[in-house]
Amino acid sequence: MYFVGYSAETKGYHFYDPPISRYVLFDEKYGWQWSNTKEMQGYSEFLVDDFFPNHEEVDDGPPSPQSPLSPSPPTSSSTPSSSSSTPPTSPDSSTPSQKWGSLQDIYARTEVCQFSLAHGPSSFAEAVEVPEWCAAIDNEIQALKKHDTWELVDLPNGKTVIGLKWVYKLKYKPDGLIQKHKARLVARGYMQREGIDFEETFAPVARFETIRTVLVIAAYYSWNIYHFDVKSVFLNGVLDEEVFVEQPIGYVVNGQDHKVCKLKKALYGLKQAPRAWYSRIDNRFSKFGLQKSASEPTLYVKAQGPTEVLIVYLYVDDLIYTSNYVVLLEDFKKLMIQEFEMTDLGLMSYFLGLEVKQNDAGILLSQEKYLNDLLKKFQMQECNPVKIPLSTNQKFCADDGEDKADAHVFRSLVGSLLCLTHSRPDIMYATS
């Protein structure tokens, strides 16, 4: 494993490790010998043969100690040997000749860069090169201005500034195609201090058991379920504390670059942002006559007359609702559109990874996209299907001769299968 450098976006390290690993072991007894440059020169660049033994032999010449992408020496648990630190000098040596290559060459021969781009750019400079991401960034800034999120002020004495960063995410349709590019301005909430920058942070969370209960009720009574998406949801939460953040990169006001932003509304990343949003929407629901469930704080019910009822379920910026009375549905829809900037998604079709198909026969749940992603993650696309992921003839013993399973991969696999039980309750016993 090779230490590449420090991230400019987060408090973390960059490593390059051909066999993918999640664990890093540091050799605290070994350090960089600044006084002995010849001894350490071999670590200035990667040996291509270490990773690509069958690559085409191209004489790139000796490694350049001035390379801007030169990583630090390997952080393995053992001291590197001299054979790995110095390239072979004799062409007649029995040891196969090793060719030097830069980090750019490593990236060109692998899918590291392509993988990161598929999940969004890694920096603002990279994002502004793509028109789709530029439009997404502009939309986010316009939403912040529309909600009157902050005002520019001089930083008061004794106050600290919280940093901001851009986060980029691709949203996909159930069929796997890209739905939209989403850029989000996020506060570095880990810099907040309890009692100064925030007080309470608790906010209720959704439970799949409740979601399935709502779906069962709607299917039993043949009600349609509708879906709302709240745009820039946390910008609707009003802050009670004084919070100061830096001006967003790329949008610093000319002549006022010394000023900071005093927040009026919550930003993504702030520790109190979820609580501020839930407090506001809970207050609005109460004024509309919706009663919060005593056992499920994100479930609301409104009864009107002897038979009319409206059920609303909230999960952060996703909101589903159903009713047996058209007037209640229309009144609730008008209320939400007037109060918040919403996207009316019509009949519920995709919610928290669940694919929902509604018709006259009932409601069908599936997780086809999630399952396909799961098979790709664990490289099991070509495996034969079975009805239940459990061997009926397995005999357990203390030592079966097999290598010990990777605990991280095993826990990830079991957890992924447990998420699949939302639409496949028949595999609950096998996975739990």
What is the structure's pLDDT at 42? 46
The pLDDT of residue 322: 93
Mean pLDDT of the residues in the chain: 76
Which residue in 113, 91, 108, 4 sits closest to 48, CA to CA?
Answer: 108
Split at pLDDT 50, 70, 90, the class of 200 is low
Mean pLDDT of 184-213: 75
Beta strand 362-366 with 150-153 is unpaired
DSSP lists the bridge partners of residue 357 as 364
Model confidence band, residue 43 (pLDDT cutoffs 50, 70, 90): very low
Under the banding of pLDDT at 50, 70 and 90, the label for residue 72 is: very low
The b-or-e profile of 213-248 (16+ CB within 10 A means b, else e) is: ebbeebbeeebebbbbebebbbbbbebeeebbbbbb
Q: What is the pLDDT of residues 260-301, one digit of tens each?
A: 999 888 888 888 888 888 888 888 899 889 999 888 888 999
Give the pLDDT score at 201.
64
Residue 313 has what pLDDT? 92
In this prediction, residues 217-241 reach a mean pLDDT of: 86
The full set of domain ranges for the chain reads: 1-87+97-110, 124-359, 369-431
Read off the pLDDT of residues 180-197 as tens digits, 9 standing for 90 and up.
Answer: 888 888 888 776 666 655
337: Cβ–Cβ under 8 A, 6 or more apart, which residues? 344
| pLDDT tens-digit series, residues 362-378 | 888 888 888 888 888 88
Task: Residue 86: name the closest of 136, 120, 127, 36 by CA.
Answer: 36
The DSSP secondary structure of 248-280, one letter per residue, reads: PTT-PPTT-TT-EEEESB--BT-TTHHHHHHHH
| pLDDT tens digits along 102-125 | 655 655 555 433 333 355 788 888
Average pLDDT over residues 58-69: 44
- What pLDDT score was predicted for residue 75? 43
How confident is residue 76, by pLDDT bands cut at 50, 70 and 90?
Answer: very low
> How many beta carbons lie within 10 A of that of residue 294, not counting itself?
7
Distance from C-alpha of 309 to C-alpha of 290, rounded to nearest angstrom: 10
- Residue 77 has a pLDDT of 40
Q: How many CB atoms lie within 10 A of CB 209?
A: 9
Structure tokens given for 65: 């100690």
Please state the rounded mean pLDDT for residues 314-330. 89
Reply yes or no on whether the pLDDT at 146 is more than 50: yes
**Of 81-95, 168-182, 245-259, which gets the smallest average pLDDT?**
81-95
The mean pLDDT value for 119-134 works out to: 84
What pLDDT sits at residue 114?
37
Share of the chain above pLDDT 70, in %: 69
Residue 127 has pLDDT above 80, yes or no: yes
Question: Is residue 35 over pLDDT 80?
Answer: no
Q: Which residues have C-beta within 8 Å of that of residue 318, sequence separation ≥ 6?
A: 227, 228, 229, 230, 351, 352
- Pairing mode of beta strands 354-359, 260-263: unpaired
Tell me, what DSSP letter sits at residue 361?
A: T
pLDDT value, residue 301: 93
User: pTM for this structure?
Assistant: 0.59
The whole-number pLDDT of residue 392 equals 74
- The pLDDT of residue 24: 59
Averaged pLDDT, 60-74: 43
Range with the lowest mean pLDDT among 17-31, 127-141, 260-274, 330-344? 17-31
Tell me which amino acid residue 309 is: V
> Is residue 311 predicted with pLDDT exceeding 90?
yes
Does the pLDDT value for residue 204 go beyond 50? yes
